[in-house]
Structures are given as structure tokens and as C-alpha cells.
Structure 1
Amino acid sequence: STPSTPGAAATPSNKTALTKKTGLFSSLRSEVNIGNLKATNKGAKLVELEERQTGQVPRKVFLDYIAAAGGLGFLAILLVLLFLDRGLTTFTDVWLAEWIESDESDDLKFYVPIYVGAALLASVAVYCRSIFFMVVMGMRAARAMHAKLLGVVLAAPMVFFETTPSGRILNRFTTDTEFVDNVVLQNLQQWFNCIFPVLSTIVLVSLSLYWSLLWLIPVMGLYVLLYRHTVSATRDVQRLEAVSRSPIFSHFSETLGGISTIRAFGASTRFQAASERLINQNTRCNTAQYLLTSYSTLILETLAASTVGVAALLPTLSFEFGNEVNVALAGVALASTLEMSQYLKHGTRMTLEVQKAFAGIERIVEYIDNVPIEAFGGRPPPQGKWPSSGEIAVTDLCVRYRPELPYALRHVSCTIPPKSKVGIVGRTGSGKSTFLTALWRLVEAEGGADGTGARAVCIDGVDTADLQLSGLRSRLAIIPQDPVLFNDSVRYNLDPFGEHSDADITRVLGVVQLAQLVGTFEAGLGHKVTEGGQNFSVGQRQLLCLARATLRHSLVLALDEATASIDNETDAVLQQAIRDMFADCTVLTIAHRLHTIMDSTVVMLFEAGELAEFDDPEVLLSDPESLFSRLVDETGSAAAHLRDLSRRSATLRTTEPH
């Protein structure tokens, strides 16, 4: 097959980067964009600005939290416990007042048991309410929201991790998750401890000093006005602080990753200065939070003091106007009113804190709802052994990483015969790795024979576009340029699902010449692999990845520049193992060193996102005008050796028995 004529590249539309601004703390908002890349052309930047919500916390955030905590049923149980707790506490106060007003001749045995019983029941209700809310509902919500957040991030496509700084993700799993785990629970607990006493006080006051409600209601209105006056700024600054925190995580992570390079180039001072700038911006947001808290506290204290003063005058004024008042009940009401001023003050603060906490939860809900996830549904792969031969048919394949970006691959069409050894070459950015990502559906393909994407890639006649991702990827094998090992045993890294015996694993290790090394370990196959496989060399890690791929018995294997970071000796071992273990498989090799693909049966050469050449390497090398021939000639003195390798491989293929 020959590649089709490439089509024209798509032209991305322009977009002006939008940032949300309001009047309050606009200077802070303009500063917290440090650490994010800026551009005016959509698609010209890889990392987008982190979005920040404005206005009220959506009702959906509260409903999602309630659902995670157990739903309306659990909420109803909590409300019953809250009313029972406060009702019993109020009853003990009223009962004590009745006891004081009673005649001395009344039997104490009538009042004491009821008072003690009500107090004990109130204590039990408080304990049950606290345990049910903090432990049952709180832990349930924390587990559910963390599981959803983790599930969404793990299911996100690769493009999400390419466009989202790691610090932004870390921010969601650390500080923002702390709001779900701890902050919102503590604030809601204190909010309950303030609001329900206020409700019970209103009931008491209405029973004894009912006319004082004319004063109490306006006072409560003042607290509501104060809340509305400060809640917008408090909530907005909390969001600013959260956004300003992400660049700190990103910068710290990037600095750790490149610490050797930073020191080698003497750039430590510059990176330290950048870190200080980011921390200063976050500190400014924190300072604004503290100032707002101090401001609201000052007004609340002033209002509370005024409330206490007026409350103290009420009984005197009542007597002055000749009203009959139950002295004991009035005393309880007065004491409760004095307490209520403190509850109103603290309750208003806690309402502001609850809003701040839910602004943090809002960021988690935003990720859960908005982070794109891969399409894990679809048809299961065919029963039995599939792929059965390893034929790959590509029809009019077009790939781009985001809708606003130009195509990374354009109208690629070819058929790779079964058992082919395919060398994929091309300059940086030509589309080599993108071709493999399309086969594995790390990026969803566009195009196809009918223009809808159907049958863009078929393996052994099976359209992969609507296959279950887990089923598709489990039937293919890949060895990436950066070998991936997990912090577990050697056995787990080679056979994570426990499908093979130790004898099979040892046999495969022998093929890749690692059996002797593993045999020297005291624990053998149970030897612990450290994080990232740091207790193995890069070459040994690649060979372990090859052993893992071999155990899967897949008929399609891809190597994405797997030999780029290893020495020549390990490269030779790797190449020989591939020839021995995957002789009857289709092997796709992206070449970093041309000598690794000179024995290929087919060469695919990509140029600017197009499949420019697709043929036997000997045929391409025989044409001095072919791009592959020119690429070999650019190696200088090694060109003759490469051509000789190709000739010898072609001769061996023709003489080998079929």
C-alpha cells in the first residue's frame, strides 16, 4: 500500500485568553497568574490559565457534598439528632426554671430525676450527633469525593496531563482535599453549635418576653446584613488563595525534577527568586483573608456588645411598664439572650468559614465534573486470541491533540502485513509517536473511510474505534522510551495480575539475560523494586519491560525509541531478544538509532504529519531521491554500514524458509 495524498492542514481559530475580574482585590487577581503561560492565540499555548469561579458557590456543590455524605436520609437523621440535642438542652433549662418557681413543699424526687434524666439524654444526643456527623457522614463524604476525584484523574486522557501542571493536580489532592477531610466538618460542627441555640433562644424569649422579639428580629437582620456585606469578599479571596497556591506546587515539583540541571547552570538564585515571588503572591492572598477576618470580627464584637446592653435593659423596662413576668423563666430567657449574642457573632463567622470551605470543595467538584475522561465503554474485544495475525490497516487517519490545534497526522493510509517488522522514522515532530498513540487510542483518531472516524484503524479486521479501551490495550504491548516500573516486587512488575508461574517468569528473564541478576537477590522474584526502578540501571529497566511484554504473548509490539537511553551492549541484547521472542509478531519500532531498524521489512517515514514513504527499506535505499535514502546519507561515514545492514537483512529474508 502507498500513502494517500495528504490534505491541507486545519487552521486553528483565534481566541483571546479570558480572565475573570471583578472590582475587589483586582490587583491580587492580576498577580496570581504567575506560573501560568499566557498567549492570545488559541492553540499557541500548551498550558491554559487555571480557571477561577466567581459569585456564589453553586447549589450543586452543597448537594454533591450531601450526596457523598450519605444523601437526604443521612441528612434527615442528622437533623433529628440536632433537634433532639438542642430540645433536651432547652428542656433542662426550662425545667430548672419551673423547679425554682415551685413551692418549697414540692417533693424534690419529682424534679431531680426528670432533670438528671433529661441532662443525661442531652449528653447522649450530643455524643451521637457528633459521632454520626464527624465520623459517619464526614468520613463517608471524604472517601467518596476522594475516590471520585482520583477516578476522574486516572481516567483522564494524556492531553489533560500535558496541558495541566502537576502542581495544579497536587493542589486538588492536598489542600483542597483537606477542606473535605477536616475544615468543612469542623466549621459545620461549630455552625450547628451556634444556629440551633439561637433557634431555641428565640423559642424561650417568645414564651417569656414575647414583645422583645420586636428588638431581636432587627438585631438578627443586622447580622444577616453583615454576613452579606463580607461573604462575597471572603469567598473570592479564598478562591484567589487557592489559585495562587497551584503555581507554588508546580514550581517546586519542576525544581525537584531538574535540580541537577539548575545547579549545573548556576540558576539556583533565579529559581529561588521565582519561588519567593510565587510564595509572596500566595502570602498576599492569605494576608487579605486575615484582614477580612479581623474586619468582620471587629464589627461582630461591636454588634454583640450592643446586643448585650439592650438585652440587660429589657427586664427592667418590662417591670417599668407594669408587665407581669415569670421571674425564673425571664432569667433563663435573659441568660439565653446574652448567650445568643455570642452565638450570633460566632455563627456569622462560622457561616463565612463554611462558605470559604465550600469554595475549596467547589474546586474538587469542578474537577470531578469538568475533567475530560477517556471513553471506557464500547464493544469487548473478540473472543479467543486477538490479534490473531497482527495485520494493521490504517485508513485516512487524522489525529490532533485538541480541537483548536492543527493536525499532528493527516490522512495516513497504509496496510501493515502480519508479522511485519516496521521501522518508523522521521524528524522530531513529524508524527512518529502520534501514530502509536492513535493505535493505542491515547488520542482519539479522526477521519476514516466514511469521514466519521469509523474504521480509521483496524487490527485483524476489527475496528478499534469503538472497542473497550481496557480490552484494546490489554491485547497490545508497548515498551516506552522511559521504562515504567512500580514500587513492588520483580514478580509483580512482570506479572501484575498473577497469570503466570514463577517458572514462566524465570524463563522470560533468561531470554532477556536478567535471570542471573535476579538469581543473586536474596528474595529472588520477590525482590523489592524501588520507586521508578531506581535500584536497576536504565538498560535493566528496559529489559524488564521487554520481559513483561513477552509474558503477555501479544502479536503486536511497539517500541517507542526504547533504545534511546541505553548503551550499545544492552541495545544488542534487547534487539536480539525481540528477534527471538517476537519473530511471529508485528513489531513497530520508532527509531532513534537507524541501525536498529535496518533489518525491518517495512519502513514508514513521516514528514510534517504525513506518511511520506512506506516500503521495503531496500527499495527506498535504491532510490537516491527518496527521503529515507537521504536520511541515511546524512549519517555520514555510517551510511555505508547502514546500507550494508539492510542488504544483508534482505538477503537473509529471501533465503530463510517460510
Structure 2
Amino acid sequence: MIDLYDRFQDEHTKATSLSLTSECWFAIRLDLLCAIFVIAVSFLCFAQSDGLNAGYVGLSVTYAMSLMALFQWCVRQSANVANQMVSVESILEYIKLTPECTTGKALPPEWPKNGVISFVRASLKYPGTEQPVFKDLNFTITEKEKVGIVGRTGAGKSSLITMLFRLVESEGQILIDDKDIREIELHTLRQQIAIVPQDPVLFTGSLRRNIDPFRRYQDEEIWNALNEVQLKEEIEQLKEHLDFKVAEGGSNFSVGQRQLICLSRVLLLNRKIVIIDEATAYVDYQTDAKIQSVIKQKFKNSTVLTIAHRLQTVMDLNRILVLEEGQGTFGEPYLLLQDKDCSLLKMVEETGKMMASSLKKIAKEAYERQHERLPISDGFDNVNAESVLYKRTHRECNITVINEEANKKNEVLEIKKVQDVTD
């Protein structure tokens, strides 16, 4: 407790000292300006001495000298009023905000057990706007599934995360393990969803406090998390280790290191649902590969939603949600690439021939790996995997299968199923 008091006292002393120093600096500059003004008045009176009364000259110089103290006092008072009114302005803005509804059902600590996320006719429209961001989204993310979210700028990728965290209330239903998130207490909901943000956020203080802000974990667990993100050796080289002081905004760490520190924070939480909001958007390819490796190895038992900045980071995931014009197309990457009307194929082709070929190869290899242990039954044993066309609608999947004999006769056999092939 004493150490905490000393730390707060030091921070207060730093701010007060900086304020006093700034005031002194400002006062010297004001005095200099006033002195220049007095000198200018004196020289003008001297230049016009033939036509001026001596009394007027003395009065002008006296008033000019008295201006020094008065001018400095007025400027200081106006600055203080402006500083104090900023606080009042902020309070008035907060008063106008509509408070969030924090009431809801109490759930057991182990919720969610599976991490199944279902969107049922979910729509989102920001306050003050008429055009909805999403309209009637219908899809289900199964347990432990790794899903990529792609779309062009402004398609609503981050808005989907806004819906999950209830930063803006949406219409329809969003279910997590069959529980409507609008009926869940807000603190509980946000506490059970971990996120790796696009801009890594670090606070001024010790490294331990940044990784474990609520002091719930032992040092050994923190070191294990740092080791898993391959930062342990670099932190051990610091003199203070976990007590190393992080500068404002984490400026004494590189962008890649800050992102890995945020990733270690998520590893400690060990949540069933993890959201990765373009975590590799501002890092080099080496750090990108390191982050992707950690995500694949350490989040095996979690449902992971990845907002993609680089297509190669999501082409080997289980499924992809492609957002466009308020609608979503949901399916496996390889199968989506077979649909010429899907915007994912257009985005892949826009990367260039070599990159597009590489991305298609990654998607194909991932598809073959996923279906090695999942033989397609229902009487179609000789199905060519490359001829499976998949297109998901609101509540069911239409799967078109072309076997070898039907292909020769140019006949297509359509099967309507309620479940995905991967189910």
C-alpha cells in the first residue's frame, strides 16, 4: 500500500513540477514581449519628442510599464479558465451519453463451455444513421472452429466485433452456447471474450501490470505466457525483468513486441472465444508468422475469429465469412473460391497471378487436410473433392455434388442438407 501511495505521489509531483515549469517559461516570454512593447513606446515618444507634451510621454511610458504585470495576470487567468472548463465540458458530454444496460442473467464461471456462436437474423444500424451495416446475418460458428472474416474497407468487419461485445445494440439474436448475449450481464459477456486488438495497447507502468492488470496470476504463469510467444529471452535481458517500466503507449517496445505482449495477455486469460482484430496489420512477415504459429498452437481448444488484413493468414482456416454490402457468405475457403460470384475470388485474383495461385493452393491443401478424416457418406463414395460446390444460404446449405458418372453425362445431382459437410 505504501509503495502504491509513493508511486501515485511521484506521478502527482511530476505533473505539478511540469505545470510550474511551464508557467515560469510562459511568464518569462510574456515579460519579454512586454519589455519589447515598452521599448517600442519609448523610442516612438523619443522620435516624436518635438510634437509631444512631456506629460503625455511620461503617462504613456507609465501605462506601458504597468501593462507588464496586468498582461501576464490576464493571460494566466484566461489559461486557467480554459483548463478548468475542459473538465466541465467533458462532464457535460458524459452526462448526455446513454448509459449501457449492465443488468442480465448471472451465469456460472465456466460459461461458455463450448464457444458456439450463432447469428440469427442479426442486423446492426449505428445510432443516427439510416443505412444498416448488416441485415439478416444467419450463420453458426461451431465449437473450436477457426473462422476468418474478410471484406473490403468499410464492409463491416470491425462492426461484427462491435456486435459481439455489445458496444452497439443490434437487432435479431446472437447466441453463445444457446444464450442470447442481450440477456447476459454485460461485464460477464465482455470478460469471457478475449481480443487481440489491431493497435496493441500498453499502459504506463510495469510490464507485469500490462500482462496481468488485475494480478490474478503468479509470475511463473506470466513467464510461461511470455515463453509461448517467444518473448521470454528478450524480457530476461532487461534489468528489471517483469518490473520493467513501460513508457507511455509502449514506446520503448517495437510494434511487433507490443503485439506479442498483448497476445501473451490473451494466453493468460485462456478464454473459449478469442477475437483477433487484424493483429498482424502493422508487423513484418517474420513477426506475422510468429503470431500465426502461436495462434494455431495455443488456441486449439478455443473458437477463434480472425479479422484478416492479409488473405494468406486465413486461407487455411476452417471457414471464412465474406462480408459485402451488409450480407455475408460463409463457407470453406476452397469451396468459396469455386464460386465465381463470390467476392473472395475477386479479392484473391486482385493480388496478382503468383499470389492468387499461392492462395488457391493454400486453400486447396487445407481443404484436403480437413477432409482426410471426414469421408463423405450418404451413398456417394466416389465423390471428387474438387467438384464439390458449396453455397450457404440463411438456414440451410445447398450442396451440389458431381460424381464421375454424372460428370460424363453432364448431369448434376443436387442434395439439400441442413448440416454442413464438415459437420
The one of 406, 418, 421 equivalent to 2:131 is 406
| Cα gap change, 1:385 to 1:368, in 2 (>3 Å) | same
Pairing 1:143-162 to 2, within 5 Å after superposition: none
Deviation (angstroms), 1:444: 1.3
* Aligned residue in 1 for 2:282: 565
Correspondence 1:45-64 to 2 at 5 A: none
Residue 359 of structure 1: CA displacement?
A: 9.5
Q: Which residue of 2 aligns with 1:438?
A: 163
SS of aligned partner of 1:491? helix
Cα 1:444–1:512 change in 2 (3 A) is same
The counterpart of 2:93, out of the listed 360, 367, 386, is 367
Q: Which residue of 2 aligns with 1:584?
A: 301
- After superposition, where does 1:302-381 map in structure 2 within 5 Å? 363=89, 366-380=92-106
Distance 1:570 1:361 in 2: 41
Q: Give 2:115's aligned residue.
A: 390
Query: How many aligned positions are there?
Result: 296
Partner of 1:522: 239
Residues 454-476 of structure 1: per-residue CA shift (max 9 Å, x gap): xx111111111132221111100
CA contact (8 A) 1:433 1:560 kept: yes
1:120-199 → structure 2 map (5 Å cutoff): none
Which residue identity lines up with residue 419 of structure 1 in the other structure?
K
Distance 1:461 1:624 in 2: 34
Once the two structures are superposed, what CA deviation does each residue of 1:108-166 show, in whole Å capped at 9, x if it has no partner?
xxxxxxxxxxxxxxxxxxxxxxxxxxxxxxxxxxxxxxxxxxxxxxxxxxxxxxxxxxx
| Partner residue of 1:622 out of 311, 317, 338 | 338
Q: Could you tell me which residue of structure 1 aligns to residue 326 of structure 2?
A: 609
| Contact 1:556–1:585, Cα closer than 8 Å, also in 2 | yes
1:371-520 equivalences under 5 Å are 371-380=97-106, 382-445=107-170, 447-448=171-172, 456-520=173-237
Q: Tell me the distance in 1 between the aligned counterparts of 2:93 and 2:134.
A: 30
Cα 1:478/1:368, change in 2 over 3 Å: closer
- RMSD value, Cα: 2.5
Determine if the alignment matches structure 1 residue 594 to structure 2 residue 311.
yes
- Kept in 2: contact 1:620–1:629 (CA 8 A): yes
Tell me, which stretches of 5 or more residues in structure 2 are unaligned? 1-70, 75-83, 375-421
When residues 545 and 361 of structure 1 are mapped into structure 2, their CA distance, relative to the original with a 3 A threshold, is: closer
2:368 match: secondary structure: helix
**Aligned counterparts of 2:317 and 2:164: Cα–Cα separation in 1:** 20
* Number of the residue aligned with 2:367: 650
1:554 alignment partner, one of 271, 277, 281: 271
Distance change in 2, residues 1:552/1:362 (3 Å)? closer
Change (3 A) 1:363 1:591: closer
Q: Which one-letter code corresponds to 1:523 in the other structure?
A: E
Q: Please tell me whether the aligned partners of residues 430 and 610 of structure 1 are also in contact (alpha carbons under 8 angstroms).
A: no
Amino acid at match of 2:332: D
Structure with the higher fraction of residues in strand conformation:
2
Deviations for 1:268-291, whole angstroms, at most 9, x for unmatched residues?
xxxxxxxxxxxxxxxxxxx9xx9x
Alpha-carbon offset, residue 365 of structure 1: 6.0
TM-score, normalisation: structure 1: 0.43
Conserved 8 A contact 2:311-2:359: yes
Change (3 A) 1:363 1:631: closer
Q: CA separation of 1:515/1:406 partners in 2, compared to 1, >3 Å: closer, same or farther?
A: same
What amino acid is aligned across from residue 395 of structure 1 in structure 2?
A: V
Query: How far 1:361 sits from its partner (Å)?
Result: 9.0
Counterpart residue identity of residue 537, structure 1: S
Say if 1:570 and 1:359 are closer, same or farther in 2 by CA, change over 3 A. closer
Summarize the Cα distance change of 1:555–1:364 in structure 2 as closer, same or farther, 3 Å threshold. closer
Residue 656 of structure 1: how far off its partner (Å) = 6.3
Please say if 1:635 is aligned against 2:383.
Answer: no
Give the Cα–Cα distance (whole angstroms) in 1 for the partners of residues 244 and 188 of structure 2: 30
Residue 632 to residue 503, structure 1, CA distance change in 2 (3 Å): same
The amino acid of 2:355's aligned partner reads A
Residue pair 1:429, 1:608 contacting (<8 A) in 2 also: no
Match of 2:183, SS? coil
Q: Cα deviations across residues 339-379 of structure 1 (Å, max 9, x unaligned)?
A: xxxxxxxxxxxxxxxxxxx9999756633532223222322
1:533 and 2:250 are equivalent in the alignment: yes
Residues 584 and 363 from structure 1, CA distance in 2 versus in 1: closer, same or farther, beyond 3 angstroms?
Answer: closer
Helix, strand or coil: the match of 2:205?
Answer: coil
Asked whether the 8 Å contact 1:431–1:610 carries over to 2, the reply is: no
Provide the rounded CA distance (Å) in 1 between the counterparts of 2:98 and 2:343.
Answer: 39
Q: Note the C-alpha offset of 1:542.
A: 0.7
Distance 1:529 1:624, change over 3 A: same
- Aligned-partner residue type, residue 580 of structure 1: Q
Q: Deviations over 1:391-440 (max 9, x none)?
A: 00111111122144421111111111111111101111111110111001
User: Larger C-alpha radius of gyration, 1 or 2?
Assistant: 1
Inter-partner Cα distance in structure 2 for 1:426 and 1:486: 31
Flag the 1:359–1:595 CA change in 2: closer, same or farther, 3 A.
Answer: closer
| CA distance, structure 2, for counterparts of residue 410 and residue 367 of structure 1 | 31
Residue 629 of structure 1: CA displacement? Answer: 1.7
Give 1:498 shift: 1.2
Give the Cα–Cα distance (whole angstroms) in 2 for the partners of residues 654 and 361 of structure 1.
Answer: 60
State the secondary structure of the residue aligned to 1:425: strand
SS at match of 1:385: coil
More helix by share: 1
| Distance change in 2, residues 1:502/1:461 (3 Å) | same
TM-score, L = length of structure 2: 0.66
Letter in 1 for 2:336: L
> Contact 2:332–2:367 (CA<8 Å) still a contact in 1?
no
| Identical pairs, percent | 38
Q: CA deviation at 1:651?
A: 2.5
